[in-house]
Amino acid sequence: MTMTPLPSPNSLETHEPSLLIVSEQPLNVSTLSAKGHFLSAFGSTFVTIFLAELGDKTQVATLLMSAQSHAPWIVFAGAASALVSTSLIGVIIGRWLCQNLSPRTLEKATGCLLLVISMLLVLDIVRM
């Protein structure tokens, strides 16, 4: 058995690793694990939607339909299916927008849309 000496560090080719810049924000360690990313995305989405829908007209309508029909589980299934469907539409449209528009364009369009909605609400109040 012949042993060959290891090459010296000076004789090895050095390659600089290429960098992939994902975002300008520092990388959060919890996003490196799939479980951490899942829990973070799921938790923030759940809390946001839960608080937005709490006391909303959808919840009031569900409450009234449940009381009127005397079939709360059927009303629950219908309301849950409707919320899942509207959420799916939002996810599909959001994914399409992110794939076809740059984040800067998306932010500008969102800002303009919110300004238009705000102006329409102010006009509605002034007309009262």
| Residue numbers of the chain with a pLDDT score lower than 50 | 9, 11-23, 27, 29-32
Q: Is 122 helix (H, G, I), strand (E, B) or coil?
A: helix
Q: Map the chain to HEC letters.
A: CCCCCCCCCCCCCCCCCCCCCCCCCCCCHHHCCHHHHHHHHHHHHHHHHHHHHCCCHHHHHHHHHHHHHCCHHHHHHHHHHHHHHHHHHHHHHHHHHHHHCCHHHHHHHHHHHHHHHHHHHHHHHHHC
pLDDT in tens, 45-67: 999 999 988 888 999 999 999 99
pLDDT in tens, 25-37: 554 544 446 677 8
